[in-house]
Amino acid sequence: MAGEQMDLFQLAPEPASPPVDYASLDELNRACQTCQKCRLAETRTHVVVSRGNPQASLMVIGEAPGQQEDETGLPFVGKAGQLLDKILASVNLDSERDVYICNVIKCRPPGNRNPEPDEVAACKPYLLAQIRLVNPKIILLAGAVAVQAILGDKRGITKIRGQWFEWQGYACMPVFHPAFLLRNPSREVGSPKWLMWQDIQAVRARLDQLTKA
């Protein structure tokens, strides 16, 4: 790992609250379903905890459910989710078999507004417990909300995407959020989509290394 990136990791703050000690993902899921820790409980249709494989070596953390996720109770099932599936499939990763997908926030913010800091803080113990229980080899942080929640790094995603960070023993890579890629569809060399293609190939290569080790 480059010296500069290691220093940044060391500067990243520890999570504000320790993970609650759920014994299993089922237990965690049950706790989420009845959660009333923040105002988003009043407006949600479904709590959105995860999809994919809890035994996967790769975990993707997004921001928060959108409308389709709120309707179905599953993360990343709308247009951004379909693009995420395609990005993963481009390196032969199946989003149900090879990946565990979740969000920082488990309930939809009304109108898809950005989550408030107190909402992130309220939901964070669930995310930390998910990481501990899934225990992936690699964590993809999709977008600035996920980067800030885990690494505590407030720099723009454009500055830090594609770099490896170590957080509590996990190899983490910030990447563009798929919704951002939908708004920037160019595939030219150097475009966000092209950069995502570089990043996902790097993830695939590291995953192969770590799972063969």
Structure-token pair, residue 73: 């109770």
Residues 6+ apart with CB under 8 A from 151: 8, 9, 12, 141, 165, 167, 172, 174
Nearer to ligand URA, 76 or 176 (CB): 76
Q: Which is nearer to ligand URA, 5 or 72 (CB)?
A: 72
Give least dist CB 50 to ligand URA, A.
10
Q: Tell me the C-alpha distance between 75 and 107, whole Å.
A: 10
Question: Judged by CB, which is closer to ligand URA: 68, or 191?
Answer: 68
Q: Can you point out the beta strands (E) in 116-197?
A: 138-142, 165-167, 170-175
Q: In whole angstroms, how close is the CB of 35 to ligand URA at the nearest point? A: 17
Q: Which residue is nearest to ligand URA (CB)?
A: 62
Q: Pick the closer one to ligand URA by CB: 18 or 117.
A: 117
Q: Which is nearer to ligand URA, 107 or 171 (CB)?
A: 107
Beta carbon of residue 145, minimum distance to ligand URA (angstroms, whole number): 7
Angle at 147 between CA 62 and CA 181, to 5 degrees: 55
Using left for φ > 0, alpha for ψ between -120 and 50, and beta otherwise, residue 101 falls in beta
Provide, rounded to whole angstroms, the least separation between the CB of residue 7 and ligand URA: 29
Rounded to whole angstroms, the Cα distance separating 213 from 165 reads: 19
Residue 84, C-beta contacts closer than 8 angstroms, at least 6 positions apart? 60, 62, 76, 95, 101, 142, 178
Query: Could you give the CA distance from residue 140 to residue 176 in angstroms, rounded to a whole number?
Result: 10
Closest distance to ligand URA from the beta carbon of 164 (Å):
21
The pair of structure tokens assigned to 117 is 């800091």
**Site of interaction with ligand URA (CB under 6 A):** 62-66, 69, 75-76, 78, 80-81, 103, 179
Q: How far is the CB of 2 from ligand URA (least distance, A)?
A: 28
Q: 62 or 136: whose CB is closer to ligand URA?
A: 62
